[in-house]
Amino acid sequence: MKKIAVMTSGGDAPGMNAAIRAVVRTAIYNNVQVAGIRRGYQGMIEGDIFNMDTTSVSNIIQRGGTILKTARSKEFMTPEGRKKAFEQLKKHEVDGLVLIGGDGTFKGAHAFFGEHSLPAVGIPGTIDNDIAGTDYSLGFDTAVNTAVDAIDKIRDTAEAHDRMFIVEVMGRDAGYIALNSGIACGAEDILVPEKDTDFKSILKRISNDKRRKKLVNIIVVAEGDDFGGAEAVKAKILEHFPRIDVRATILGHIQRGGSPSYFDRVQASRMGYAAVNTLLKGTSQVMIGLENQQIICTPFENAIKEHAPLDMDMLEMAKILSS
Catalytic positions are 128
CA–CA gap between residue 144 and residue 59 (Å, rounded): 24
Which residues lie below 8 Å from residue 45, measured CB to CB, with a gap of 6+? 73, 75, 76, 81, 84, 85, 88
Task: Identify the residue among 50, 228, 229, 259 touching a copy of itself (CB under 8 A).
Answer: 259
Q: Which is nearer to a copy of itself, 267 or 284 (CB)?
A: 267
x/- track of binding to a copy of itself for residues 97-136 (CB under 8 A)? --------------------------------------x-
Around 214, how many Cα atoms within 13 Å sit in the side-chain half-sphere?
10
Task: Identify the residue among 62, 201, 208, 283 touching a copy of itself (CB under 8 A).
Answer: 62
Rounded alpha-carbon distances, angstroms, from residue 181 to 11, 144, 148, 169, 222: 20, 6, 5, 9, 10
> Angle 72-73-74 (CA atoms, 0-180°, nearest 5)?
125
Q: Which is nearer to a copy of itself, 71 or 111 (CB)?
A: 71
Stretch that binds a copy of itself, among 44-52, 235-243, 245-253, 298-306 (CB under 8 A): 245-253
**For a copy of itself, how many residues bind (rule: CB under 8 A)?**
75
Q: Characterise 65 by phi-psi region: left (phi > 0), alpha (psi -120 to 50), beta (else).
A: left
Task: Identify the residue among 12, 130, 189, 194 touching a copy of itself (CB under 8 A).
Answer: 12
Residue 256 among known ligand-binding residues: yes
How many Cβ atoms sit within 10 Å of the Cβ of residue 89?
A: 23
Q: Which is nearer to a copy of itself, 83 or 155 (CB)?
A: 155
Q: Which is nearer to a copy of itself, 21 or 86 (CB)?
A: 21
Task: Identify the residue among 159, 196, 198, 306 touching a copy of itself (CB under 8 A).
Answer: 159
CA–CA gap between residue 14 and residue 106 (Å, rounded): 19
Stretch that binds a copy of itself, among 57-65, 97-105, 194-202, 279-287 (CB under 8 A): 57-65
Which residues lie below 8 Å from residue 170, measured CB to CB, with a gap of 6+? 127, 128, 143, 147, 177, 223, 251, 252, 255, 256
- Beta-strand pair 218-222/164-169: parallel
> Interface with a copy of itself includes 89 (CB under 8 A)?
no
Stretch that binds a copy of itself, among 68-76, 83-91, 100-108, 278-286 (CB under 8 A): 68-76
Q: Is 121 within 8 Å of 287 (Cβ atoms)?
A: yes
> Interface with a copy of itself includes 137 (CB under 8 A)?
no
Binding site per annotation, positions for substrate: 126-128, 163, 170-172, 223, 247, 253-256
Binding site per annotation, positions for Mg(2+): 103
